[in-house]
Structures are given as C-alpha cells and as structure tokens.
Amino acid sequence: MESVEAVLARRWPVVLHAERVTLRPVTPKDAPVIRAVLSDPEIRAFLGGPVSEARIEARQRDYPTTPGMWAVAPAAAGGKAIGLVSITADSRFAGRAEISYQLLSSAWGQGLGREAVGAAVGWWAAEVPDGGPLIAITQERNTASRRLLESLGMTVLDTLFEYGERQCLYTPGSEETALRWARLLQARTDEVERRRGAEERATAAGRALPEDLSALTPEQMERLCRARHGAYGRICAREQDHAPDLHLGRSADGAWIAWLGTAEPAPVP
C-alpha cells in the first residue's frame, strides 16, 4: 500500500469546502493561528499542554510546506484562519493515517469543527479509497472532541494510554472496518505481549552469556541461535530450536531486548 506521505504529496495542494468553512493549505500568513492553537492552555488542555517556543517556531516553518496541513477559515473570502486540521502518517500503526484538529476557542460550540473535520474525512474516503480508515486519537475525558467524532459516524475501536492519560482510538465505523481494525489491534497487542514475555522468560543459560562470546565453548556456541539483532549485532541468546520469529539478546548497554521477525543469520564469531 502506498505510504500516507506519498498519497498526500501526489494530491497536494487540496482545497476543501464545507457550508461555513474552507480548508486550504497552510501558508506563512497563518503563523499567528499556529502560535495561538499551540500555546493556548485551554486549547491544549487535552493535548499535553502548550508546546515550547522552539516547537512553535519549527511548526510555523514546516506547516506551509507539509502536505496534509490545512488552515480552517470562514467560507467568506479573505477570512482569517480559525484553526488547523491535518492528515498525517500515524506513528502507532504502520501505514495508517491520523486526522487531528485544533480550533481557536472563539470558534467552539458552533459546529465549525464538525464541518471542517467532516470535510477532511470525506475527502480521504473519496480520494483514497484503498488508503484504509483514518485514525483519530482523543483523550477519554475530552467529551467535546468525542462528540464531534461520533457525530461523524466514527466509533471507538480501542483505548490506550499516552501522556499519562487514557486515550480513545476512533475510526470511521462500519462492520467491515471494525473487523479489520479489531484484527490489527489484536496483532499489535500480541506483538507487545510477546516482546514482554520474551524478556520475562529469559533462560538462566541466556542470562549467563558472557559479554565476550568467544569465551563460550564450541559446544555452547553450537546450541545458540545464529541470528543477530539488526541494531546491535548481538547473537540471539536462545537455542536454535526456538520459534524462528522471536529472538532474545542484549542491547549495547547490556539490557535484555527481544525482537520479532526473522533475523539474518550470522556466522559464529
């Protein structure tokens, strides 16, 4: 499947129209609204609080050149931006797209956010039919944001903890979509649990491996899985007949690490 970044770059720039708002690509002239939504404690109450001055300045530079970043403005020509809506690649689930939104508090309570987010969700569904469902993450306590998403027909498929708070994962709802996401989320949960289990089940023999593997006897070395972790080049501490997609070893600082996937075989040192 084509990456989210590639999809957006190929279709950008995009202007979207709703009844009362227009979504247009962010420009340098939108720097004041970027600063406002990123620094206002009320707007950022459920988003981890105001961001640093350095991050504000970086985003003021980056947003005008980033496909998928829209400024939300009144539909009347020349209206100043009242917020931001974005579609970006999500870091939690490979290949998924996340929609985010932040409006000035002066625009709250009028249904403008619903129109803006709905326009972006509708565009993605129409223009990228094979791009998979959008993700929207909002804090469980953010009832206004949750009402907005649910009014667009989005449903909660899972909850997760980020920044010390329970978050709700939303996506456009349908039976097929729910089944697809349920499988994806279960696969993610299984992967996390397998990593945790691998560390907890480290064998006594594995824990006793010396830092200098050349100290092992040929017989001991022969029993080890001859796979290396890509980041550190460490030989897997488990024996050769273990499940081939789950490996256990030490990181550069000596901590135990587990990794999934078929590792490249490596010669015995």
Q: Which residues of the chain have pLDDT under 50?
A: 175, 202-205, 231-232, 263, 265-269
Percentage of the chain surpassing pLDDT 70?
65
The DSSP annotation for 98-139 comes to EEEEEE-GGGTTSSHHHHHHHHHHHHHHHH-TTS-PEEEEEE
| 65 and 55 Cβ atoms separated by less than 8 Å | no
- The pLDDT of residue 253: 59
Report the alpha-carbon distance of residue 184 to residue 31 in Å, rounded: 38
Q: Which of 93, 73, 91 is nearest to 82 (CA)?
A: 73
The answer for residues whose C-beta is within 8 angstroms of residue 92's C-beta and 6 or more apart is 135, 160, 188
Tens of pLDDT, residue by residue over 107-141, are 999 999 999 999 999 999 888 876 666 889 999 99
The pLDDT, as a whole number, for residue 135 is 86
Q: Which two tokens stand for residue 186?
A: 């279960």
pTM reported for the whole predicted model: 0.66
Q: What CATH architecture does domain 4-191 belong to?
A: 3-Layer(aba) Sandwich (3.40)
Q: What is the pLDDT of residues 142-171, one digit of tens each?
A: 999 999 999 998 988 778 777 778 899 888
Tokens of 12: 């950008």
Indicate the domain borders of the chain. Answer: 4-191, 204-260
Partnered with residue 8 across adjacent β-strands are none
How far is Cα 38 from Cα 51, in angstroms, rounded to an integer?
6
**Angle between helix 112-127 and helix 143-151 axes, rounded to 10 deg:** 50
